[in-house]
Amino acid sequence: MHDIRLIRQDPEAFDAALARRGETESWASDLVEMDGRRRAKIQAAEEALAERNAASKEVGAAKARGDDAEFERLRGLVGQKKQEISELEEQAKIESDTLNSVLMTLPNLPLEDVPEGADEADNVEMHRWGTPRNFTFTPLEHYDVPGAKGGLDFETAAKLSGSRFVVLKGAMVRLHRALAQFMLDTHVDQNGLTETWTPVLVREEAMLGTGQLPKFAEDSYKTENGWWLIPTSEVTLTNTVAGDILSADDLPIRMTAHSQCFRSEAGSAGRDTAGMLRQHQFEKVEMVSITAPADSRAELDRMTKCAEGILEALNLPYRTVVLCTGDMGFGARRTHDIEVWLPGQNTYREISSCSVCGDFQARRMNARFRPEAEAKPEFVHTLNGSGLAVGRCLIAVVENGQNEDGSITIPDVLRPYMGGAVKISAEGMLLS
């Protein structure tokens, strides 16, 4: 959420920053007007309170000197002011709620170093790592590779749940589990993140805090009793500091979690319908950092390297791009997307998105810290990133490791997690 004080100070700059994100409407003047009405009601309530307090003091004096008429007048004034204060406070709350409801729907402002652009075609490549393998045969997509095909059961999943689900079996489910375990071990042992396990059902406040609500309600699932299924453990990890006042010594907080994730994919009709690239239920190893404002931009680069390191250890070629202003997510100020090479599609596909959000989420969650022991609390900065999407990583391992005989070569770093197996045969069996 945005700081209305900054909007008041420089409304033109606010509108210009939103325009960089493709917003065609100018919001600042309306927001400042809403805020003016809110502040006017608050000021009127404070003035009425001062008048009531003054009258209350005079009531006793009028009674003491026997001035019954003045006593009755003052007592009536106290009652009148009490009612007036109540009405003004209620009006101020309505104005405040109206202002906040609009602020909640406006996206974060991009950092100055974010490239201009309308959509993904305008994203800027930062660097590439690895060289795509030169196959002596035509590489297949993951769901057609013989060694994986028997372990990716879309037919049974459709019987159980419908489209965009998969049942994993045999070597595939073990590979999937190995990838998640390897990611967690790397982030904890090498990258210094604290492993965390969180619920997948959350209250509405948590979804509001990280920006999934109110604007993107259709993208998530809600239970009948009001819980929401998390679209990513960013929601739970970030909200662990909601309402807190941390000390400077607590920062940075770096967390990682492996969780189930649930997304309706409301806007993806007809896209990536084959295979397991875009699912309603999937697993992800998430990274979240809570930092002091001065450290958040550098933390984004650190987080990006943590995600890239997973792909490098798996020997999977990738490229990293910075998203342009028109392609960034709602809560981000700058985003680095990491795209892994998928030879079956002959293209790079997103496998991680690392974003710095500034104080945008912290304001929604009221998450603060004290720079010094007695200092006034300030809002923390939050970051999040995939480290990585487990299912998409499985796709990349299968497609990049496929062989002409239908088998799949297992990356070296995963072999200890696979019982020492070095390959998955064309029949889906682990081979040592």
Instruction: Write the burial class of residue 407 (CB in 10 Å: 0-12 exposed, 13-18 middle, 19+ buried).
Output: buried
What distances in angstroms separate CA 127 from CA 114, 172, 318, 322, 346, one per listed residue? 16, 31, 9, 10, 18
Q: Does residue 324 contact residue 123 with C-beta atoms inside 8 Å? A: yes
**Residue 278 catalytic?**
yes
Angle at alpha carbon of residue 366, lines to 34 and 228, rounded to 5°: 95
Q: How far apart are CA 180 and CA 196, in angstroms?
A: 14
Q: How far apart are CA 282 and CA 267, in angstroms?
A: 17
In the chain, what is the straight-line distance between the N-terminal and C-terminal CA atoms, in Å?
Answer: 54
Q: Does residue 59 contact residue 76 with C-beta atoms inside 8 Å? A: no
Residue in 236, 182, 175 with CA at minimum distance from that of residue 205: 236
Residue in 148, 173, 168 with CA at minimum distance from that of residue 407: 148
Concatenated DSSP letters for 162-215? -SS--EE-HHHHHHHHHHHHHHHHHHHHTT-PEE----SEE-HHHHHHHT-TTT
Q: Give the dihedral sign, CA 281/285/290/293.
A: negative
**Residue 224 catalytic?**
no
Q: How far apart are CA 114 and CA 127, in angstroms?
A: 16
Q: Does residue 322 contact residue 291 with C-beta atoms inside 8 Å? A: no
Pick the catalytic residue from 39, 177, 278, 349: 278
**Residue 363 catalytic?**
no
Pick the catalytic residue from 52, 164, 302, 392: 392
Pick the catalytic residue from 51, 350, 378, 427: 350
Strand partners of residue 290: 253, 382
Q: Does residue 85 contact residue 52 with C-beta atoms inside 8 Å? A: yes
Q: Does residue 282 contact residue 390 with C-beta atoms inside 8 Å? A: yes
The DSSP element (H or E) to which 32 belongs, if any, is helix 28-64
**Residue 263 catalytic?**
yes
**Residue 353 catalytic?**
yes
Strand partners of residue 61: none
Q: How far apart are CA 311 and CA 322, in angstroms?
A: 18
Pick the catalytic residue from 38, 52, 263, 334: 263
Pick the catalytic residue from 220, 352, 353, 355: 353
Which residue type does 389 have?
Answer: A
Which positions are catalytic? 263, 278, 350, 353, 392
